[in-house]
Amino acid sequence: MILVVAATEIEMAPFLAQSAELPGGDCTCRTLITGVGPVETALRLTRFLCESGEQFDAVIHFGVGGAYILPEKSRQPELLDICLAEHEVAGDFGICLGESMEYLDTTLTGEIVYKMDGSLLKRCRTIFDRLGTNYHPGVFITVNGITGTSTRGEILQSRWNGLCENMEGASVARVCREFNLPCAELRCISNYVEDRNPSTWRLQEACLKAAHTAIQLVKGLTI
């Protein structure tokens, strides 16, 4: 059994609309909407895992994300591209100094970088390769507040070599580690991390593509 997690109804709805494609129907997966942000995500996922009474083989976390502007000659994710997490980082957990971030010692915070399960990640890569799904692997950065300026985006990207930004991934990864559950995360790029300009975002299309990709991934993991 796979648990499929997304933050919002607009991300999960197209997944549910396509779930008839999954072999075994309700025997294939369960779904959970966590709410937005690290706190609600950690709370609702933990409560679900404690109260569901079901045994899960893996968690697939999907949704939309903002692509950082990468250094020249890097492979830049474009709008509606798929990204696959290799690591998740709690990227703004510390002291924000405007033009820089000062991170607290891990003796206070615990680890803030979470490596995705290697075996599950390998299976995801194999499925994407077999389907011909183009994707960008790399570091995802979880933030408490959406980045609204290019300057802050550059700070976070350069510190962690970040690929894209979200508000839930590190919490899912941390909870899954606590429950010894393999976790994979994919995101479809809805916007760039730049001086905030929602008129350029492609949110609805990104939700649809993220859900479709998640369906294909779950199908590949369960056949």
What's the CATH number where 176 sits? 3.40.50.1580
**5 closest CA partner among 202, 126, 181, 201:** 181
**pLDDT for residue 210:** 98
pLDDT beneath 50: ranges in the chain: none
**pLDDT for residue 19:** 84
pLDDT single digits (tens) 184-204? 999 999 999 999 999 999 999
Half-sphere exposure in the Cβ direction for 38 (13 Å, CA): 19
SS3 43: helix
Find tokens 């690929």 and name the residue. 163
Q: For residue 179, what are the domain limits?
A: 2-222
Helices and strands: H and E segment counts in the chain: 7, 10
Tally the domains of the chain.
1
For the beta carbon of residue 48, count every other beta carbon within 10 angstroms: 17
Q: How far, rounded to the nearest angstrom, does the alpha carbon of residue 100 sit from its chain's CA centroid?
A: 24
pLDDT single digits (tens) 65-78? 999 999 988 899 99
| DSSP 8-state secondary structure symbol assigned to residue 71 | P
**59 closest CA partner among 127, 118, 16, 2:** 2
**pLDDT for residue 119:** 95
Who's near 153: CB < 8 A, 6+ residues apart? 68, 69, 147, 165, 193, 194
**pLDDT for residue 27:** 65
Strand partners, 140: 88, 164
**pLDDT for residue 14:** 96
